[in-house]
Chain A
Amino acid sequence: MAAFVVSPLKMGPLLVLWLAGCLSGTWAVDRGNFKTCDQSAFCKRQRALKPGQSPYRALLETLELTNTKLTLQLINDNNKVRLLLELYRLQGNMTRVKINELKPLKPRFEVPDVLINDPPTEPLSLLSRDENGVVLSLGADSQRLIVSAKPFRLDIMEGREVLLSLNSRGLLAFEHLRIRKDTQASQQFEIAKEDEKVEDGMWEETFKSHTDSKPNGPSSISLDFSLPGVENVYGIPEHADSLKLKATDGGDPYRLFNLDVFQYEVFNPMALYGAIPVMLSHSAQRTMGIFWLNAAETWVDISSNTGSSETPQTDVRWISESGIIDVFIMLGPTPTDVFSQYASLTGTQAFPPLSALAYHQCRWNYNDQEDVAAVDQGFDDHDIPYDFIWLDIEHTDGKRYFTWDPHKFPQPKDMLQGLLDKRRKMVTIVDPHIKVDSSYKIHNEIRSKGFYVKSKDGGDYEGWCWPGNSGYPDFTNPEMRAWWASMFAYDQYEGSMENMYTWNDMNEPSVFNGPEVTMHKDALHGNWENRDLHNLYGLYVQRATAEGLIERSGGVERPFVLARAFFAGSQRYGAVWTGDNAAEWEHLKISIPMCLSLGLVGVSFCGADVGGFFKSPSTELLVRWYQTGAYQPFFRAHAHLDTPRREPWLFGPENTALIREAVRQRYALLPYWYQLFYHAHHSGQPVMRPLWVEYPQDTATFSMDDQFLLGRDLLVHPVTEEGARGVTAYLPGKGEVWFDVHTFQKHNGAQNLYIPVTISSIPVFQRGGSIISRKARVRRSSSCMEHDPYTLFVALSPKRFAQGELYIDDGHTFNFDKQKQFIHRRFSFANNALSSRNLAPGSQFTTFSWVEKIVILGASKPSKATLKTPDGKESQLEFEFDASMSVLTLRKPGVNAGLDWTVVLQ
């Protein structure tokens, strides 16, 4: 929903004054509210280090090699502080590099709960060793890991090629924990290290009016990576920037620090709501990944020698404020491999209920039950499908989550039942800031159980958010999460029902009067400072909520939870969106790279507010946004409280029809979306993909982010220019063909295709060689379409071949997983025969759906079409052939979608 501005009418005078200061009359982000690297003391210190002067040396005599890992001490020759290096070879072609202080003054934070397990290792073997270093084998493919002693450096090689080097520029820097010099304790310890001069910002740091007390002093870490042969790096969301990351020389590094940024700007490296410290590198030869497992404020510098005559190389440097260095190097070599590798570490996308992939109607706010009923009816009156209607913060009793406004929503169950009767659902917002109010049950329980985050002085941390003064539950505490989850039980969350799901907004967390609109870094989560785990908070909120929704159904139903803040691993808990964007063409465009970047690092269920959150879209922009959103994973319209209403039917019959058509295209394609999400859940492959993922050698695709693929088989080039009369889409694949999904016109691959467009155009192409299932009978909601028949679109490759899949289950429970109740079919077209065979023989599920129609694109006219079923029966199918487009339509095969069958063309 919302950044931190609300109508002053509803807030106290103090806050109004403060807000007035923040607003200063412009629409753009107020950059002054957020730190630059220069204003972040550790970033400034670290960035001041010059390359090529590494003080670190490996003490080879300390090397120990066990079955699972190699350990080795490093010494900083300037201050004699020792570090402990651990190297692991992980199953699935990954290397883990961990560096911590050998003997830290107190334990340093290691990120819990992100890895799905202790990653299984494979033995490293020592190939050679001398006084300069050691060479280790990484198993097959002649991959070696070279540890150089002085200065310390790691190189991963394949054959004679260096894939990646660590500390090759000597920017490893590990600020060891120390005793504050002006304290008594420091006198007793006689640690006099030469580089320990005290700088500003080491023991205290002030930004604007906020002072960070930094009781542990400097604790930052940094490491550089060199990627020879690499010109393209991607990932490290969330930034409103291009898909291909830019060099940061001369500007600020990309920042990873979960923040509620009011009216963010596009095309800059400022931190946004979520942080996933995973970067992918890609060249025509290889794709690799770097996963920097650290939840503190992090900055990423990128530089590249692109344009010079030497071998291309990209250098990357990671800087974090605290914690340890724990890096996973995913060696690919293909994009698919990197996705699998990352999924093996942090898990895959939660498999959403099918309906969550349909259309969502949201607004801040639907005012009352009558409003909800009227909007619901509006969709039926205008014959536009939708599955979810959303309620933002105003539905609560005074911003007390888990409650209802007694005047506006006196009978929530009646309202939910009304939706249920139409097989529709609702989402209500539950934010993680809790109104400090002794008459509010949730607050009293959290307070009495001691579940709130504590301030540095030990009292409950309090800050301003929607309800006014608020507490912030400590979601890092498993007991707190279990309690929170229990609050979603039907008897706890009064007025809730099984068709009501949850939205966690503001989970960065947003603190209106906190530094950079978030929590003070010296606030305490048990023994750890917010500084150590800041970026992890949002993940825990979404996790506890998702667990609550699972528990309330006795473990049967799949949850659906949308969150704004996220971290590595958040994909396991639900969906995310790109936060409070604006009704501007630039924001429509940036939704593509923003969701593509998230998809590359595990989060497939991504979307942007359709129409734009702030401001009011022109009708053309709104229509284009629906057309784009219909082909992005999370499809939800949303609008700010102060904007005029924009339900799809408010812009005249022509625009209503355009929006209806876009939404219908989404619904017809739901079987394909569902199958893609099953895949993402099963294998970690992204749903929405940059072209280079499927065409890794086609350099033309490497920086493309105005079009994308859904799975392998659909290419979408949304119209995102105002007043566009045509777009130029790039169709990849030499020797391949693509079919316009609307006209069935065939186009050759490896070309820039100019497509004239009208306001109704959504350029989408199906890859020759693929088979896509649709449900042509679009109904009121996706649940209403459950038993409907399928139409198969078989797009033949030039070699007259095609393949596709179909996944079916009950659409909402875990039975697909726990009881193997699903259907997974493979369709293949070869030798003039189309067949369906079972991809999951161990599973079983009964569907009422059948095959209604088969449309073969790029076909020639057969003399007859024979359907054969396993019982030996044969029947002739009627067909139509459109010679001008070479489209063959087989009439009503009528076979059940779960069965084996073959259609032979003669």
Chain B
Amino acid sequence: MSCALLLLLTSLALVMGTGTAVEIQRPRGVPQSKRQFYEENKPFTCLDGSSTIPFDQVNDDYCDCRDGSDEPGTAACPNGSFHCTNAGFRPAFIPSSRINDGICDCCDTTDEYNSGATCQNTCREMGRKERESLQIMAEITKEGFLLKQQLIHEAKRGQEDKQGKLTELQGSKKGLEGKMEALRTVKKTAEDPEKEAKERHLKSWEEQKELIRMEKDKTRMAEAFLELDDDADGYVSVAELQSHLELDPDSDGSLTETETQGLLGGAGKVDTSTFETVWSGIKDKYLSEVSTYVMKTYVIQSFPYPKGSPGSGRSNEVSIIRFENANVCTLLSASQSLICGPEFIWICRNLEKEIGFDFGPSAEFAYLYSQCYELSTSEYIYRLCPFNRVSQKPKFGGSETNLGLWGQWAGPEENLYSVMKYDHGQGCWQGPNRSTTVKLTCGKETVVTSTSEPSRCEYLMEFTTPAVCQEPASLDEVLHGHTEL
């Protein structure tokens, strides 16, 4: 039976764009684009030129050409491919091995012409469905792309704002520091008489030391606040503090919710200013989670040892200054608390960090910063905090597991911003540290759509966001771009 297969010419009525029906004849499995190589009744030369055979050996179910080009419509060649026209849908090439294998691969059923498989022509249906879904996709892309433009715009403004704010803050800090220095000088020079200079200097140095100590403590407090404020909402909550078992007042090994609330002065959460009071109660016990280098970066420079001797050649100004001496001290201490307070450090640090992130070519991913998105499955709640961390928490009790900290963009070269990688999560028993790959697809909403663990401790998350929506081609292009005509 199959050995008796002869060259089969197919009559294909294709609906052209103009709507007129045209009849085309070509051997089975040959795409229109290669039709000219298969001329009936002329010897056929393999497309790789390796040999020439009589035309009746084309599609005779025996492989003569090394490149498989003589058997476009049979399964005879191991490396051949078959072209399905799939009128009504998208044309496709399938490997020759799928011809007459009993499985319907082409929606126009042309691949199963001799296998006994009963295939339904599903091209129209598939075409319709695809058009529908393309249409939906196109709309999503279109809207998503608009949203993305907004995001870019906002990000740009936000970025400028932040940069501006940072510059401003840094500037004002500098200004204040300058002023303070001046005030200090004034203050020092104002402290007369000269014979008391040494003593006064000593005293002022004591004051300065105390000042330094206070600054350091304030810095530590600021750091602690930032550390504790896991979700970066500007508040330290009971839950956030509860992990610090060292603060346990009765040292029974567990820090209960009530105990924690006690530490917070009875509040459920505290902001930076209230935290100052809380801090005085816990600072002796508090253990930092981070290494100190992080702190150093943000510790404001200690005062230098005063240079030169006070009062040299400035005597004429002394009387004026002295008059204002009380005022100078007030000013000095106000500036001091402004630039060394936790709020200031917190803002500066976050701004610097945020400005430093790669939020995509047009900062379109900036809006994800300091947000979190959750997906609830049958067993777990998964939480993605972009540019921060991924975690998993059992629905019915149990502690949260860190599935990875922000690593880097990890898409393929041509589409770097399509994949995020989070790594160095909690270690796995006999295995690696947990890590999560987040695949980003275009969508109007920003949502986690699925999670899975394809390999032990390697998680995969699907995430839609308008930020990856590409400029949409026109719908016509989408629908007809693939159709071979």
Residues of A within 8 A of B (CB): 7-9, 367-368, 370-371, 383, 407, 421-423, 641-645, 776-780, 783-785, 787-789, 848, 850, 852-853, 891-892, 894
Contact = CB atoms under 8 A, between A and B. Distances in A.
Contact of A423 (B3, B76, B103, B429): B103
Most A CB contacts (10 A, CB to CB) among B60, B452, B453 go to B452
B33 interface: no
B94 to A, nearest CB: 10
A642 B431 contact: yes
Contacts of A784: 97, 101-103
B75 interface: yes
A378 to B, nearest CB: 11
B430 A789 contact: no
26 contacts: A367-B452, A370-B452, A371-B452, A421-B103, A422-B103, A423-B101, A641-B456, A642-B428, A642-B430, A642-B431, A643-B455, A644-B455, A645-B454, A645-B455, A777-B76, A777-B78, A777-B97, A779-B98, A779-B101, A780-B97, A784-B97, A784-B101, A848-B1, A848-B2, A850-B2, A852-B62
Nearest to A643: B456
Contacts of A892: 3, 60, 62
B2 A371 contact: no
B2 A777 contact: no
Majority SS at the chain A contact face: loop
Contacts of A368: 452
A61 to B, nearest CB: 68
A743 to B, nearest CB: 16
B143 interface: no
A371 B453 CA distance: 10
Contact of B2 (A423, A644, A776, A789): A789
Interface in B408-427: none
Given A789-B2, A789-B3, A9 B429 contact: yes
Interface in B352-396: 378-379
A891 B61 CA distance: 11
Most A CB contacts (10 A, CB to CB) among B60, B76, B453, B457 go to B76
Contacts of B281: none
A128 B183 CA distance: 132
A7 B101 contact: no
Given A642-B429, A848-B1, 15 more contacts: A9-B429, A367-B452, A383-B95, A383-B97, A407-B378, A407-B379, A641-B456, A777-B75, A777-B78, A779-B75, A783-B102, A850-B3, A891-B62, A892-B60, A892-B62
B217 interface: no
B229 interface: no
Closest CB pairs A-B (n = 4): A784-B101, A894-B3, A645-B455, A892-B62
Contacts of A421: 103
Contacts of B455: 643-645
Nearest to B62: A892
Contact of A8 (B75, B429, B458): B429
A533 to B, nearest CB: 36
A776 B429 contact: no
A852 B76 CA distance: 9
A593 to B, nearest CB: 29
A643 B95 CA distance: 33
A891 B102 CA distance: 26
A417 to B, nearest CB: 13
A366 to B, nearest CB: 10
Nearest to A646: B455
Most B CB contacts (10 A, CB to CB) among A370, A371, A777 go to A777
Contacts of B2: 787, 789, 848, 850
Interface string B428-463: 111100000000000000000000111111100000
B454 A423 contact: no
Majority SS at the chain B contact face: loop
Contacts of A853: 62
A779 B74 CA distance: 13
A383 to B, nearest CB: 6
Interface in B29-81: 60-62, 75-76, 78
Nearest to B96: A777
A643 B428 CA distance: 11
Contacts of B102: 423, 783-784
Contacts of B60: 892
Contacts of A776: 78
A787 B61 CA distance: 13
Nearest to A385: B97
Contact of A371 (B379, B429, B454): B454
Contacts of B456: 641-644
Nearest to A787: B2
Contacts of B429: 7-9, 642
A894 B4 CA distance: 8
B458 A788 contact: no
Contacts of B61: 852
Interface string B96-137: 011001110000000000010000000000000000000000
Contacts of A789: 2-3
Nearest to B377: A407
A263 B97 CA distance: 41
Given A421-B103, A422-B103, A778 B78 contact: yes
A853 B76 CA distance: 11
Nearest to A380: B98
A783 B103 CA distance: 11
Contacts of A848: 1-2
B116 to A, nearest CB: 9
Contacts of A850: 2-3
Contacts of B103: 421-423, 780, 784
A778 B97 contact: yes
B375 to A, nearest CB: 15
A367 B457 CA distance: 13
A641 B62 CA distance: 45
Contacts of A787: 2, 115
Contacts of B97: 383, 777-780, 784
A733 to B, nearest CB: 32
B8 to A, nearest CB: 17
Most B CB contacts (10 A, CB to CB) among A371, A421, A423, A892 go to A892
A730 B308 CA distance: 94
Contacts of A423: 101-103
Interface string B197-225: 00000000000000000000000000000
B59 to A, nearest CB: 13
Contact of A367 (B75, B98, B379, B453): B453
A414 B431 CA distance: 34
B107 to A, nearest CB: 15
A373 to B, nearest CB: 13
B40 to A, nearest CB: 21
A667 B152 CA distance: 54
Nearest to A668: B78
A263 to B, nearest CB: 12
Contacts of B453: 367
A395 to B, nearest CB: 15
Most B CB contacts (10 A, CB to CB) among A367, A383, A642 go to A642
Nearest to B64: A891
Contacts of A407: 378-379
A729 to B, nearest CB: 27
Contacts of B452: 367-368, 370-371
A15 to B, nearest CB: 13
Nearest to B4: A894
A777 B95 CA distance: 11
Nearest to A788: B75
Nearest to B431: A642
Contacts of B430: 7, 642
B46 to A, nearest CB: 14
A398 B78 CA distance: 45
A7 B457 CA distance: 12
Nearest to A408: B378
B6 to A, nearest CB: 12
A383 B81 CA distance: 12
